[in-house]
Amino acid sequence: MQRTVTNSTPWIVSNARMRSRRALLFPLLALGSAVLVTGCASAPKPAEVPSTPVQMAPPEPVAPAPTDGMTPAFTEAFAAADLRARSIAFYQQCVPTVARLRAAGRFGAAARAPRAIFCERDAEGVPIGGVFDVDSAFKAPRGLTAVRLDGDRPKYTGILDTAAIVSRAKLARDVNKVVTPVWAKLKRPFTVVPVTVASGTHEAWVIPRATRAGFFVMGGDAAYVSAATGVSQTVDHTKTWMQIALPARGQVRITSAEPSVAAVTDLASARYYTELGRDVTVTTAAATSTLVPGLDPTTGARVVWKHQPIR
């Protein structure tokens, strides 16, 4: 993460010797970054003293040294996992919202409205949700329309990357075909969530769902990317699947089975329940992480992670 350093206008004060003892100097810092020097009417204009422009501080590296006692490697890996978790938590809230809007006729007559749902944020972070249909070859979307998910749900009029929307939909369809037989045998419900990472690569995350009301799942997720022969698995946490009861009140404690950075599904659950007003902590063998109020300058989110290393 880069931090922009803003430099205030420098004071420039002439140290030239005045020829008259009666001369008075009044340095004035003007808003337009100019400094005016005035004196008695009889005093000559002071000689200008060359000044050196203030140099901008060099930008910080992408992964600055953490101040919470965690290693740079942990900080970087956690940020990458949390980026995915944030997308997944948003998707989990967006899809039901768009489904309700479609049923209410927001995208036209419900019976004729497109069936596929997509969710994303635009370049300015505006949450967007919409519907579309697509041909069996996933060449181009049909009937694509979207609304902003803030305010009164106005129609979204910005530019949409239709190729990316279709590509993510195809990847999610292909992953569903691959994992459904296996997960059905395990009797584990799931949702396939398409995610686009910082590099522009599309991933499909298989996020486990609880089999009982009032429960949630820790761990157990998996991730896939497109490959020449179909899809390729990049993450497999299916052996860590564990279902636990969600406390009716108080803090939600998520103990991740991962040794260092928590599983993406654990971070997504933390963000999801935090949005619902719960206090959540995520613990691994390396750290306890908590979402606390604060502004994330990278995402604009109103909560930030606070880490406490475990020695």
- By DSSP bridging, strand 35-36 and strand 116-121 are unpaired
Looking at residue 18, its pLDDT comes to 40
* Coil/strand/helix, residue 175: helix
Query: Band of the pLDDT at 111, cuts 50, 70, 90?
Result: confident
**Does residue 156 surpass a pLDDT of 90?**
yes
> pTM of this prediction?
0.76
Q: For residue 24, what are its two tokens?
A: 């008075």
Strands 280-283 and 252-255: parallel
Give the residue-averaged pLDDT of 200-226: 97
Q: For residue 303, which phi and psi values (nearest 5 degrees)?
A: -130, 150
Averaged pLDDT of the chain = 83
Residue 179 has pLDDT above 50, yes or no: yes
Q: What are the residues whose beta carbons fall under 8 Å from the beta carbon of 266, sequence distance 6 or more?
A: 85, 218, 219, 254, 256, 258, 282
Spatial neighbors of 17 by CB under 8 A, at least 6 apart, are: none
Tell me how far apart the alpha carbons of residues 287 and 55 are, in angstroms, rounded to a whole number: 39
Structural domain boundaries in the chain: 1-60, 72-309
Residue 239 has pLDDT above 80, yes or no: yes
Helices (H), 49-140: 72-103
> pLDDT (tens digit, 9 = 90+) per residue, 27-79?
333 333 333 334 434 445 444 444 334 443 444 444 444 567 899 999 999 99
Q: How confident is the model at residue 123 (pLDDT cuts 50, 70, 90)?
A: confident
Residue 127 has pLDDT above 90, yes or no: yes
Task: Give residue 66's pLDDT.
Answer: 53
* Residue 85 · residue 56 · CB < 8 Å: no
**Residue pLDDT, tens place only, 251-296:** 999 999 999 999 999 999 999 999 999 999 999 999 999 999 988 8
Q: Per-residue pLDDT for 214 more than 60?
A: yes
**196 by DSSP, 3-state: which?**
strand
Nearest to 13 by CA among 29, 24, 31, 32: 29
